[in-house]
Homo-oligomer: A and B are copies of this chain.
Amino acid sequence: MTGAGLELRRVRKSFDDRPVLDDISLVVRPGEFVSIVGPSGAGKSTILNLLTGRLTPDGGEMLHDGVPLASGSYRFAFMPQRDALLPWLRIIDNTTLGLEVAGMKRKAARARVAPLFAEFGLDGFERHFPAQLSGGMRQRAALLRTVVQGKAVLLVDEPFGALDALTRTQMQQWLAAMWMRHRWTVLLITHDVREAALLSDRVYVLSARPARIARTIPVWLPHPRPAAGSPEVATVEAEILNTLFNPEF
């Protein structure tokens, strides 16, 4: 039952006797866009912390391409909640950060990142500080920093939660377009039911803490999906919402 991509099997995690993750099993196949939706405090960020190696699970297995994850292997590129750009680094230095930490020389890292600025709509902003960019541009810079690391899977935690609703909609459409072009393997954490429905190939809905997978919702719709107005997307949304608001779940 093993295979390519990322796989979690019956993963459990408690903090001081307080169970947070009860029983989490999920898969992300190469090239898939998978989302996790769940109530606040359910343990969504905790799942990513397990995958980045910040936390170790109390039980269960975490496999990548069928091999158990060793601690300290740093196989995945992580994009934290909000953008987490370092305010004191210029955009160019922010985007090369992962490469430099991984040991690449500054010059080589810049050479790797530079050609991507145009595609990410950041051309000409290399020497700006993050505070000089708009919210949407900052998110694009953060995503650029994430993908340029060339890791197998992108772990993205609520990237657009702090943006206003209009900018958020724009960024979702931009991300959908970028994903179609590059077909990154993505595990996205979100609060936003519509975001999950718009972007994902599959949505895992978490129960409240201690979190289990309450429901797995495959989304068989073709990409790209319209920002609003498609009844199919609306159906997926309704399905997610029903699971979330179902008192029995």
A residues lining the B interface (CB < 8 Å): 39-40, 161, 164-167, 169-170, 190-194, 226-231, 234-235, 237-238, 241, 244-245
- Selected from B40, B228, B235, the residue in CB contact (under 8 A) with A167 is B40
* A245 to B39 CA separation, bound complex (whole angstroms): 31
Contacts of A194 in B (CB 8 A): 194, 228
* A241 to B190 CA separation, bound complex (whole angstroms): 22
- Selected from B40, B165, B166, B234, the residue in CB contact (under 8 A) with A164 is B40
For this complex, 27 residue pairs linking A to B, each with C-beta atoms less than 8 Å apart, are A40-B167, A161-B164, A164-B191, A165-B190, A165-B191, A165-B192, A166-B191, A166-B193, A166-B244, A169-B193, A169-B241, A170-B245, A193-B228, A194-B194, A194-B228, A227-B238, A227-B241, A228-B234, A228-B237, A228-B238, A228-B241, A229-B231, A229-B235, A229-B237, A231-B231, A231-B234, A234-B234
* A235 to B244 CA separation, bound complex (whole angstroms): 25
* A194 to B228 CA separation, bound complex (whole angstroms): 9
